[in-house]
Structure 1
């Protein structure tokens, strides 16, 4: 207990811990719970108003602006990017949320085009070549297990049973790729009775039926589900659990000649690098610090009521059409007359709260046995998601203290605690977790900035992906259309960006 208090800067001789909450303003979102403000405020107009400046909203704005459409983007936060924003601690860039992007597969046409336009890839003799400065440098991943660091995140097989289960799960993933078909974005794969059967059960139940019960395999699969979906294998569908592997890199057992894990793109500020480049050309069209309170579709257009956080006053908007690029449960509250499909989908969705923490250290951490420091570092047996080193991509060879970004996908029951407890409480949670692998870390912290996302990720619970209401919202055309990763039932960049581009094509002008 004394060590924990010292970590939080509470001993008589310790300097107070420097840090605080950054990045999000939950109180702004909670304006929806109160009465609408009196007074109408100034009137502003645009051809299309996009509600939400996350990846989907920025993608829709980019597509519409490219066609010469007058676009305005409203967001309650002071920085565009949603869950893909960057931050700075002690003058150094670091992520607030999503921190990498897998190389897009053959079905992610829109994302491929974006990355090419941003100069990250080029075509040479019919093949895609990636700018190696933006690919994750080696070593990429390591796992702390059995008292030392091991290369990669898959736990080493301690006995033959573990190796056999790794191989069997690898074979089942390959079989699912061949026989059922999976794609990223998910709706590029035809939905079949096989998918529906997988979607109707939990991933944990499917694994039990396959007699895949090895402790190390199950921990790893739980970790993967928390990483992409915010919940363990017993909280997501079997479709989602297989989709994680089958839509991307597959699952490779140790010694499998099929290869290493697919490389990923990453930056010091994580996917904030991408969102900043999406937002920059739109800067004159971005209206940040606007909490939208009501969206009303009329006979000839759409009217919106927003709260301007800077002026502390209401603001009215008129548009020919609106793109709702918010989580679906928010869209259902904002629309004066939400469609039945939206009500149904919003009622089914469940969200995982997330906590991220950026820790600036005064000096390097002491080395532990095993593999050297990597970009992604995870402790076996924990429910935390580990940490990345924001300085890993630096080409400067001078030894420097790391800047760590730690990730926590919290149980939904802890959402209230995440909002109510002071930042010092959560700082201690973070520090105590990291001290399990780095006992010297508490005494080396210069500053810790924490960011909380109350509804960070939609969890692909059983039955969600096959919901007819989601299919209807994905295809909706008209004066009000929807764009968000929620439309895929889970939250990743590829789904959000593709949803935004698709919404821009379906909106009626």
Structure 2
């Protein structure tokens, strides 16, 4: 469970609930910014290890797993937060698990071999008569998704044509079909794969990467409000920002790399399989971190890195011990966001500076609401795991019910996890949202979240007893035009020197499969480097 701070109390006409921020990231992370221009002092002690990994998100944990499997066990992982997992950490409220970040993992496609092999090890996946079979206890229970539109709930997240104004129905259905055909055409022949490093890169894809998704949609004449709302929702869900910021490559990749896009009544009716748990991907992160035991060091803020001829020195602030420490290793993996890695170098690699200059990160808010009982439903499709409101706040993504995976025979206390993607439609909106996350009170943010959910559940505030808020100032890289094919990202993924980079930022966007891939790649490169070192 993350550390908590700033406990407060909010009251409205319907109920009273406590509110608090959780997590420690921005406070500790800003220490790096504060000491960048000055001396950090002499270290209180020095430690020597075989391999040092900075960052215990999915990429760092995957790198540690990969090195151990390759026969290197003197691997130590440093983490700024009090728990491993990065954007995949879990949380607990009133004894119920809930996520602080990502809440599901789509069943991996054929190219995400590293993730698939690890799921085999966990017993979540197996091959039966040549077919991949998943443990149904860990697949999302039905119903999976629903959308609140026109005053009631509808199955699925694509706005149903019948719920739209009559004047919009024919136009919208036609554009649903046209967009589906475009996804199928452009995605043919392996153009989109996950991880993206295993996809082909063609002049057509480079042209898509050079323009915004909004510009491409306009050029294609795809302007139906319901379709544009849905595509914006998808971009905010995976990338943290709207179609006005992400590239056309990224907007199409969302569909073409996984499940495609299907107009109502056409193509696949069955939902894409997703693995999920009450604590979201925290379930996966905890299993990646468990083998590390005392080789995982939390509450450690990396401050300065120096790559020498024979070793790498890393100075850090140990929050628990309240001291500066120096860690020395022949090989270091920087599994943290690239903008944070840049701050560690006195003379950063040119590719790192170039990559960071081309990137922009989206802020996020994750709000966990402990409800003593579920709110009254407004009719239509029954309660689902993922619940989205059409026409709500432009930043809100709806909520996930943490107890949806439980097998209890009756409704009861639960935790709703509401997600707000705050990257907006341009850089200024992202900056303003980041400032609001830092400056506005927890009570103000809780009130915004509840007001949005009250569109579908007017009685919800009456049943909420506690709201825990997690803020991410730089949650994920937005795949801006030109970022996917940027030469600097490709250069940083190549082996060289004693410092390697491993983070989903190297793919230009942040999802579990990309982070795991880059961690495994960095592990293999690090192991190969040991064979080239002089005895």
Query: Which bin holds the TM-score, normalised by the shorter protein?
Result: over 0.9
Cross-structure match for 1:449: 468
- Between the aligned partners of 1:179 and 1:287, the Cα distance in structure 2 is 44
- Between the aligned partners of 1:401 and 1:217, the Cα distance in structure 2 is 35
The answer to whether the 8 Å contact 1:296/1:337 transfers is no
Q: How much has 1:64 moved relative to structure 2?
A: 0.8
Q: How much has 1:191 moved relative to structure 2?
A: 1.0
The answer to whether the 8 Å contact 1:180/1:195 transfers is no
Cross-structure match for 1:478: 497
Instruction: Return the match for 1:404 from 416, 423, 427.
Output: 416
Q: CA RMSD of the aligned region, Å?
A: 1.4
Q: For residue 491 of structure 1, give the secondary structure of its aligned residue in structure 2.
A: coil
Unmatched 5+ residue regions in structure 1?
A: 1-6
- Between the aligned partners of 2:460 and 2:135, the Cα distance in structure 1 is 34
- Between the aligned partners of 2:256 and 2:15, the Cα distance in structure 1 is 50
- Between the aligned partners of 2:498 and 2:159, the Cα distance in structure 1 is 51
Q: How much has 1:439 moved relative to structure 2?
A: 0.5
- Between the aligned partners of 1:151 and 1:226, the Cα distance in structure 2 is 20
The answer to whether the 8 Å contact 1:24/1:452 transfers is no
Say whether residues 1:64 and 2:67 are aligned partners.
yes
Q: How much has 1:24 moved relative to structure 2?
A: 3.4
- Between the aligned partners of 2:451 and 2:91, the Cα distance in structure 1 is 23
Moved more, 377-386 or 209-218: 377-386
- Between the aligned partners of 1:166 and 1:505, the Cα distance in structure 2 is 43
* Per-residue deviation, residues 138-168 of structure 1 (Å, max 9, x unmatched): 0000000011100000001131111110000
Instruction: Return the match for 1:146 from 150, 154, 158.
Output: 150
Q: How much has 1:23 moved relative to structure 2?
A: 2.4
Q: How much has 1:181 moved relative to structure 2?
A: 1.1
Cross-structure match for 1:3: none
- Between the aligned partners of 1:282 and 1:95, the Cα distance in structure 2 is 22
The answer to whether the 8 Å contact 1:359/1:448 transfers is yes
The answer to whether the 8 Å contact 1:51/1:57 transfers is yes
Unmatched 5+ residue regions in structure 2?
A: 1-7, 424-429, 531-535
Instruction: Please list, as runs of the form range in 1=range in 2, the aligned pairs for 1:281-296 lying within 5 A after superposition.
Output: 281-296=291-306
Instruction: Please list, as runs of the form range in 1=range in 2, the aligned pairs for 1:101-500 lying within 5 A after superposition.
Output: 101-157=105-161, 158=164, 159-178=169-188, 181-382=191-392, 383=394, 384-411=396-423, 412=430, 413-500=432-519
Q: TM-score, normalised by structure 1?
A: 0.96
Q: For residue 257 of structure 1, give the secondary structure of its aligned residue in structure 2.
A: coil
- Between the aligned partners of 1:180 and 1:123, the Cα distance in structure 2 is 24
Cross-structure match for 1:30: 30
Moved more, 208-217 or 24-33: 24-33
Q: How much has 1:320 moved relative to structure 2?
A: 0.5
Moved more, 79-88 or 410-419: 410-419
The answer to whether the 8 Å contact 1:55/1:500 transfers is yes
Q: For residue 330 of structure 2, give the secondary structure of its aligned residue in structure 1.
A: strand
* Per-residue deviation, residues 159-194 of structure 1 (Å, max 9, x unmatched): 111111000000000001115711000110121111
Cross-structure match for 2:79: 75
Moved more, 280-289 or 259-268: 259-268
Instruction: Return the match for 1:48 from 25, 28, 51.
Output: 51
Say whether residues 1:9 and 2:16 are aligned partners.
no
* Per-residue deviation, residues 451-476 of structure 1 (Å, max 9, x unmatched): 00110010000011110001111123
- Between the aligned partners of 1:203 and 1:415, the Cα distance in structure 2 is 23
Distance 1:395 1:314, change over 3 A: same
Q: For residue 336 of structure 2, give the secondary structure of its aligned residue in structure 1.
A: coil
Instruction: Return the match for 2:89 from 77, 85, 91.
Output: 85
* Per-residue deviation, residues 14-33 of structure 1 (Å, max 9, x unmatched): 87531301123311000112
Q: For residue 242 of structure 2, give the secondary structure of its aligned residue in structure 1.
A: coil
* Per-residue deviation, residues 218-239 of structure 1 (Å, max 9, x unmatched): 0000000000001111110000
- Between the aligned partners of 2:190 and 2:117, the Cα distance in structure 1 is 27
* Per-residue deviation, residues 102-150 of structure 1 (Å, max 9, x unmatched): 0100110001001111110111111111000000000000000011100
- Between the aligned partners of 1:42 and 1:379, the Cα distance in structure 2 is 53
- Between the aligned partners of 2:496 and 2:255, the Cα distance in structure 1 is 32
* Per-residue deviation, residues 374-419 of structure 1 (Å, max 9, x unmatched): 0000000232100000000001213213310000001312101101
- Between the aligned partners of 1:180 and 1:81, the Cα distance in structure 2 is 31
Say whether residues 1:99 and 2:103 are aligned partners.
yes
- Between the aligned partners of 2:295 and 2:151, the Cα distance in structure 1 is 53
Q: For residue 377 of structure 2, give the secondary structure of its aligned residue in structure 1.
A: coil
Q: For residue 297 of structure 2, give the secondary structure of its aligned residue in structure 1.
A: strand
The answer to whether the 8 Å contact 2:112/2:513 transfers is yes
- Between the aligned partners of 2:404 and 2:316, the Cα distance in structure 1 is 41
Q: For residue 105 of structure 1, give the secondary structure of its aligned residue in structure 2.
A: coil
- Between the aligned partners of 2:346 and 2:311, the Cα distance in structure 1 is 14
- Between the aligned partners of 1:225 and 1:63, the Cα distance in structure 2 is 31
The answer to whether the 8 Å contact 1:95/1:271 transfers is yes
Q: TM-score, normalised by structure 2?
A: 0.92
The answer to whether the 8 Å contact 1:268/1:391 transfers is yes
- Between the aligned partners of 2:458 and 2:14, the Cα distance in structure 1 is 17
- Between the aligned partners of 1:100 and 1:482, the Cα distance in structure 2 is 25
Q: How much has 1:211 moved relative to structure 2?
A: 0.4
* Per-residue deviation, residues 352-379 of structure 1 (Å, max 9, x unmatched): 0000011111122112121110000000
